[in-house]
Structure 1
C-alpha cells in the first residue's frame, strides 16, 4: 500500500467518523426513497405503468413498480480516463479517490449497502453490494492506482453498463471531471443521481504559458503551440459552452451536483450538499 494512498485513507476515515459521531452528516440521502423500481414489461402487466422515457431509449418496454422503503443502496460510480491526469501530476485522480472514500465510509458507518464501480478504458472496477470495510478500501485502492494516462473512456457505453448493473433504485454518485458530454438521463429515471465534478483550478482559470508543448493526456499526441490570451479566450468559450449544456442537463433531469477542486476539502462540499 503506497504512502500517498494510506494518507488519503486515514484522512477520509477520520473525517467521516468524527463528523458522523457528531451526527452532522447522518443519512446520505435527501428526500423520499419510495420511488419506483424499473423492470422489463411482461405480458399481463398494467400498461399504465410503462415508463415511456426509458422505453424509448432502450427500444423495449419498461414499467414502474412501487415498493415500500427499504435499506438504502449507495452507489459510487467513477468515470475515469486520461483527462484526470492534468497538469504535472494526477491530483484529480487522487481527489476523486478521496471523495469516493468519504462517501463509502459514510455509507458503511450508516449501515447502508455500498457498491463501488469504476470505469476505465480497459477495466471495470467493482465491489459487490457490501457493508464490509475490506471491499470499500480495496475499491478505493483500485481507483487510486488505476493507470489512466493515454486512455480515453467511452462514456456512453459506461452509462449504459451502469444502468444494467444496478438493479434497484439507489442513491447514485457519478464522479468525473465532466469535461465531455455525459448523458445521465437514463440513470436519473431509475435512481437519485448526484454528479460530483472533480476539477483542477487551472482548467477553469488557465494562465498564459507562451511557447509550450502540450500533450493530450487521453492520447499520445503532442502539440507545439503558443498559449496566450487568444488561446485562453477560445478555450474558455468552449468550456463555458460545455458547462452550460451540462448544468441544463442536470436541471432538466433533477440531478443535483457539486464541484470539488483539487485544492479543496471534499468533506466540506459534501456537507453543504446534504444540509
Structure 2
C-alpha cells in the first residue's frame, strides 16, 4: 500500500470513528426494513412511504409499514471507466476510493455488512460481505489500483448485472461520474439506491483553451482541434442536457443523490446528504 493511500485511509478512519458524534451513530440510515402492512396516511408520516397504487385505487393516501431488520447490507459499487482518470484538483478515481473507504468504515462501525463491487464495462466483480476493517481496506486498495485508461463503463448494463447478482435487499451506493446515461428503475425497485456523482468542476465549466490535442480516456482516440468559445458553449449544453435527464430519472424513481467535486470533502457531503433524511 502506497503512502498516499495510507494517509487517505488514516484520515477517513479518523473521520468515521472519531469525529462522528454519539447522536449520529451511523453515517447513513438505509431502509433496512421488511414490509409489514398498509395503513391510512397520518400527519407526520414519511411521504416517501406512500403506496401510490393503493392510494389511487382507494382515493385515500396509504403508507407502507415496515419492521426494522437487525442489520443493513451496504454495497458500494464503483463504476470504473476511463473518464475517472481525470481531475484538476485530484483525479476522480482518488475521490471514488475515499468514498468507498468512508462507506466501508461506516458500515463496520455500525455493525452492518459491507460489500464492495467494481463494474467495468458490463462486467461485475463483487466482494464477499464483511464486517471487518481488513475487508474494507482490501476493497479500497483494489479501487485505488484500478487501471482505468482505455476502459468504458456501461451504466445501464452494470445496473442490470447488479440487479441479477444482488439477491438481498441492500443500501446500494453507485459511485461514478455519470457522464453517460443510466437506467436505474429496475435496480431501485429491489434496493435503496443512492447515486454518488463524482465530478471535476472543469468538466462542467471548461474555459477556452485554443488549439488542443485531446485524448478520449475510454477509447484512446485522439483529436487535434480548436477549443474556443463556440466549442465551450456546445460542450456545456451537452453536459447540462445529460444532467437534466439524469436528475429527472433519479427523482422519478426516488433515488437520492449527491454530487461531490474533486476539490470537496466527501465525508462532509455524505453526512449532509443523510442528515436530511433523518
Above 0.5 in TM-score?
Answer: yes
SS of 1:11's partner is helix
Greater shift in the superposed pair: 85-94 or 198-207: 85-94
1:107 paired residue number: 107
SS of 1:97's partner is helix
SS of 1:34's partner is strand
2:42 paired residue number: none
Alpha-carbon contact 1:126-1:139 (below 8 Å) kept? no
Deviation at 1:126, TM superposition (A): 2.7
- Is 2:10 aligned against 1:29? no
Alpha-carbon contact 2:195-2:255 (below 8 Å) kept? yes
Question: How do 1:1-275 and structure 2 match up within 5 A?
Answer: 1-24=1-24, 26=26, 28-30=28-30, 33-35=33-35, 68-70=67-69, 71-87=71-87, 91-121=91-121, 124-275=124-275
Alpha-carbon contact 2:212-2:224 (below 8 Å) kept? yes
User: Residue by residue, what CA displacement relative to the aligned partner does 1:141-192 show, whole Å, maximum 9, x if unpaired?
Assistant: 0001000011112322211111122111111111000000011111100111
Alpha-carbon contact 1:125-1:139 (below 8 Å) kept? no
Q: Distance in 1 between matches of 2:151 and 2:25?
A: 36
Q: Distance in 2 between matches of 1:247 and 1:191?
A: 19
Deviation at 1:130, TM superposition (A): 1.1
Note the residue ranges of structure 1 that are not aligned, 5 or more in a row.
37-65
User: Residue by residue, what CA displacement relative to the aligned partner does 1:23-67 show, whole Å, maximum 9, x if unpaired?
Assistant: 43525125572349xxxxxxxxxxxxxxxxxxxxxxxxxxxxx98
Tell me: CA distance 1:258–1:25, structure 2 relative to 1, closer, same or farther (3 Å): farther
Deviation at 1:4, TM superposition (A): 1.5
1:39 paired residue number: none
User: Residue by residue, what CA displacement relative to the aligned partner does 1:104-130 show, whole Å, maximum 9, x if unpaired?
Assistant: 100100000111101124964332111
User: Residue by residue, what CA displacement relative to the aligned partner does 1:62-115 show, whole Å, maximum 9, x if unpaired?
Assistant: xxxx98432211111111110111257961000001011101100100000111
Count of residue correspondences: 246
TM-score (norm 2): 0.83
TM-score (norm 1): 0.84
Alpha-carbon contact 2:27-2:271 (below 8 Å) kept? no
RMSD across aligned C-alpha pairs, in angstroms?
Answer: 2.0
Alpha-carbon contact 2:104-2:136 (below 8 Å) kept? yes
Alpha-carbon contact 1:84-1:90 (below 8 Å) kept? no
